[in-house]
């Protein structure tokens, strides 16, 4: 058994971490960190934990926490971990950070898109981007993992095989993504009130959303060059889920023809056939958020549009599980040599 601490345990992603870790055979939660609810019983905040979690919320003292646990999950706003992280903490415990503080390798890019100063850039280079299906071997050796964002996980995994295999022109990639309201966090915001969200759909962060450089950087590694994309997120009136619909121009073969369905499917199978949590759907079946809800699965598929010479790629995941807490636990499993699927084999919920 290892001991874990969760900073930000009363946010949506933090609460999902608690739910998953409570069913993990190898982990004991020792610290429920929440600056807003110090000394309050955790089960008073989340009644689903009544008679399951008896602990009270504690503060976010990383120095003290590092002395007590083997791994810390920081489900915190951008800037928190970068503002407190030091070598003393990292020498005592491993960290899985659910914020964006260590996802982007270029400090100037991070500061431009997140509009805050990065307080510990000396740890950026060693931080491993925790997309397990791509960086599994690096995660296993890491002491600091930058857990990918929810939009980015869905967007990257949906297009990754085709970018990596050079089947599409990555610079033509357009990503149209929709998210449930839990992706905006638990904080009280007018734009997230029921009357604002219900019976409505809206785009936001158009051409400015801060997940854009994260997607570009990671798919750029796959492409072997810097790329530019269009990424537009939308808010939809549901609790959980992300659906990404992505468009790109297919690269023609030497004879001038487009790649066939079987050739594109082979690319997906090359990277995902042995992946537990990425499901490539049968031909003609489009991913839907309801079939991944509450699970760590990502469903992907594609349709070739021969008329336009483009391909439509689709992906769906639960933003709180594979898009946040589930992926964080998957990373932890790799870091400690546990079975990668431990605690994560939840069957998707329906209805």
Given this model, what pLDDT does residue 192 score?
A: 84
| Dihedral angle sign, alpha carbons of residues 114, 21, 130, 321 | negative
pLDDT along the chain (351 residues), means of 10: 97 98 98 96 98 97 98 97 98 98 97 97 98 98 97 98 98 98 86 91 96 98 98 97 98 96 98 98 98 98 98 98 98 98 97 93
Q: Do residues 266 and 200 touch, judged by C-beta distance below 8 A? A: no
- Dihedral angle of Cα 107, 228, 131, 60, to the nearest 10 degrees: 40
Active site (catalytic) residues: 150
Residue 113, C-beta contacts closer than 8 angstroms, at least 6 positions apart: 104, 210, 212, 213
Q: How far apart are CA 93 and CA 339, in angstroms?
A: 20
- Report the CATH superfamily, name and number, of domain 151-319: Dihydrodipicolinate Reductase; domain 2 (3.30.360.10)
Q: Do residues 155 and 300 touch, judged by C-beta distance below 8 A? A: no
Domains of the chain, residue spans: 2-126, 151-319
Residue 119, C-beta contacts closer than 8 angstroms, at least 6 positions apart: 79, 82, 83
| E-assigned strand segments in 155-263 | 174-179, 202-203, 230-235, 242-249
* Architecture category of domain 2-126 in CATH: 3-Layer(aba) Sandwich (3.40)
Given this model, what pLDDT does residue 189 score?
A: 85
Ordered alpha helix ranges (H), 246-285 = 261-272
To the question of pTM greater than 0.75 for the whole model, the response is yes
Determine how β-strand 2-7 pairs with β-strand 144-146.
Answer: unpaired
Given this model, what pLDDT does residue 34 score?
A: 96
Separation of first and last alpha carbons in the chain? 34
């Amino acid at each position: 058994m290892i001991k874990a601490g969760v900073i930000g345990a009363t946010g949506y992603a933090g609460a999902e971490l608690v739910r998953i870790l409570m069913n993990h055979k190898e982990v004991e939660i020792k610290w429920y960190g929440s600056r807003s609810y110090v000394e309050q019983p955790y089960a008073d905040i989340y009644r689903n934990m009544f008679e399951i979690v008896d602990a009270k919320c504690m503060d976010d003292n990383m120095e003290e926490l590092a002395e007590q646990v083997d791994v810390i999950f920081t489900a915190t706003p951008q800037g928190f971990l970068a503002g407190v992280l030091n070598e003393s903490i990292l020498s005592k415990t491993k960290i899985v950070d659910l914020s964006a503080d260590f996802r982007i390798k270029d400090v100037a890019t991070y500061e431009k898109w997140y509009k805050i100063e990065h307080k510990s850039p000396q740890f950026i280079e060693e931080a491993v981007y925790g997309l397990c299906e791509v960086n599994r071997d690096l995660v296993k050796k890491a002491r600091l993992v930058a857990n990918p964002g929810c939009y980015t996980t869905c967007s990257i995994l949906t297009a990754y095989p085709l970018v990596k295999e050079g089947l599409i022109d990555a610079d033509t990639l357009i990503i149209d993504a929709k998210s449930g309201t839990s992706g905006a966090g638990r904080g009280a915001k007018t734009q997230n009130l029921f009357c604002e969200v219900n019976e409505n759909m809206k785009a936001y962060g158009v051409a400015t959303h801060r997940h854009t450089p994260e997607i570009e950087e990671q798919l750029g590694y796959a492409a072997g060059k810097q790329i530019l994309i269009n990424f537009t997120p939308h808010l939809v009136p549901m609790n959980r889920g992300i659906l990404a619909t992505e468009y790109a121009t297919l690269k023609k073969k030497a004879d001038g023809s487009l790649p066939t369905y079987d050739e594109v499917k082979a690319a997906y199978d090359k990277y995902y056939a042995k992946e537990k949590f990425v499901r490539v759907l049968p031909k003609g079946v489009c991913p839907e958020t309801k079939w991944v809800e509450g699970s760590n699965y990502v469903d992907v598929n594609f349709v070739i549009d021969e008329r336009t010479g483009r391909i439509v790629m689709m992906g769906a995941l639960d933003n709180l599980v594979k898009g946040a807490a589930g992926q964080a636990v998957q990373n932890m499993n790799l870091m400690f040599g546990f079975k990668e699927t431990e605690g994560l084999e939840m069957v998707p919920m329906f209805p």
